[in-house]
Amino acid sequence: MLIGAKLKVVRKSKGLSLRALAELSDVTVGTLSQMENDNTSPSVGTLKRVLKALGMSMGEFFDIVESNESRERVTYPKENQVNVSPIEGLTLLGIPRSAREQKIQLLAETYKPGTSTGREYYSHEGEECGICLEGEVELHVDGHTYTLKPGDIYYFDSQKQHRFTNIGNKEAKIISACTPSSF
Amino acid sequence: MLIGAKLKVVRKSKGLSLRALAELSDVTVGTLSQMENDNTSPSVGTLKRVLKALGMSMGEFFDIVESNESRERVTYPKENQVNVSPIEGLTLLGIPRSAREQKIQLLAETYKPGTSTGREYYSHEGEECGICLEGEVELHVDGHTYTLKPGDIYYFDSQKQHRFTNIGNKEAKIISACTPSSF
DNA sequence: AAAATTTGTCTATTATTTTAAATGATAAGT
DNA sequence: ACTTATCATTTAAAATAATAGACAAATTTT
């Protein structure tokens, strides 16, 4: 079970040195070094302490470790994309629903200042996630309010009521992905 | 990190005795006993062998273990996102898709000029799609070559070989979404 | 009911990990 | 060039986990 490389990637992504991580996790620098180089099979307890310091759960970590990298694709030029939004001030640019059965609906969303998705929707079963690219968006989910800034990701169950609102004074952009396709 | 109880539940559900599991996993009966009673913090390698014999992945196991403590999250601030890329020049920023409930893996990908995803990967069942935000990316899928410019979307079934390369002279950015094998 | 088998726990020994400190490597400042 | 600091790896000693086998309790077989 090789976990060293992934561990290092996570640490680096936090901008931490081995010493800094050792301080946070209460695990020795030497141990961390050996872990990252797969010179040891750390105990669950030790690994847990390290991951806690990195703000990651065991499940999340092994999900990364065990995930097989894989991908593949065909292109859809911008010109071929269509706006599926009925709302003024909101653009939902995506791939027209084709004969093929897509499991993910990818949308490039643009909200003019003050624009929202309207009343609180709830769609059918499925999940919805996305990332904020520009602007400031308020997200209501199931009675709770969250604020999205550039780089922030959201993820929720589509069955919960939700609504997006651009609360900033400039255009807001979001890339979203939903499953299954629902529009 | 208490894992003994869960481990025992899994073993019992398979109708195995400690000796039978010891035989399958090549881990001593005594060790298994101590693991189930939390008298030891097993090494990652040892736990992996045991779980393999039980037909369970590390990710799945810790999902069970952590199911009690984990609270539901909607937003994932940029600071909490992790780079899961082992490749130099390529950043894959996202939230780990805990086998838990999430069906989509959303990633913010950044390619330095000339960087590629390395060799041609291919995955299990599932789909992957995304949108190019900046730069110029060459996409190889199943022997074909496509060029992605800002705004272009790609979409394909996940069982074909694929590779991404930043062929421009500035950073390229992509937001991608893929469905896991379990979908 | 007695014997034999199977169960999980416990202990002494062995093997491995973890620690603490030393080492070398790199970069920045004087 | 010489500190001074920071970085990751390596090493010997201390701490901990894994093994093999003994043990008693529970179950099955005769």
In 3-state terms, what secondary structure has residue B92? strand
Strand order in the sheet with A82-83: A82-83, A90-94, A105-111, A172-179, A127-134, A153-157, B75-76
Contact B1 A44 (CB under 8 A): yes
CA count, 13 A, side-chain hemisphere, B106: 28
pLDDT digits (tens, 9 = 90+) for A113-131: 888 886 566 555 677 788 8
Tokens of B33: 């006993």
Contact B102 A131 (CB under 8 A): no
pLDDT digits (tens, 9 = 90+) for A141-170: 777 788 888 878 887 877 777 888 888 898
Q: Residue A77 pLDDT more than 60?
A: no
In angstroms, how far is CA A84 from the centroid of its own chain? 23
What per-residue confidence (pLDDT) applies to B183? 32
Indicate the pLDDT class of residue B31, thresholds 50, 70 and 90.
Answer: very high
pTM: 0.62
Rounded-to-integer distance, Cα A121 and Cα A77, Å: 30
Tokens of A115: 């624009």
In angstroms, how far is CA A25 from the centroid of its own chain? 26
**Protein B58 CA to nucleic acid D27 C1', in Å?**
34
**Protein B28 CA to nucleic acid D20 C1', in Å?**
9
DSSP state letter for B142: T
Contact B42 A47 (CB under 8 A): no
Residues of B in contact with A133 (CB under 8 A): 133, 175
Buried b (16+ CB within 10 A) or exposed e, A23-43: ebbebeeebbeebbeeebbbb
A122 φ/ψ angles, rounded to the nearest 5 degrees: -135, 130
Tokens of A38: 């797969």
DSSP state letter for A2: -
Candidates B3, B82, B119: best to mutate against A (most CBs of A within 10 A) is: B82
Nearest to B104 by CA among B127, B122, B71, B121: B127
Closest residue to D7 (CA, C1′): A17
Indicate the pLDDT class of residue B42, thresholds 50, 70 and 90.
Answer: very high
pLDDT digits (tens, 9 = 90+) for A30-47: 999 999 989 899 999 999
**Protein B28 CA to nucleic acid C6 C1', in Å?**
16
DSSP state letter for B156: E
Nearest to B137 by CA among B100, B111, B99, B157: B111
What per-residue confidence (pLDDT) applies to A108? 82
Which A residues between 28 and 67 have a beta carbon under 7 A from any strand C atom? 28-31, 34-35, 40-43, 46
Q: CB within 8 A of A20, min separation 6: which ones?
A: none
Rounded-to-integer distance, Cα A79 and Cα B156, Å: 19
What per-residue confidence (pLDDT) applies to A43? 92
Q: Give strand D nucleotides closer than 7 A to any protein Cβ.
A: 6-12, 16-22
Contact B74 A139 (CB under 8 A): yes
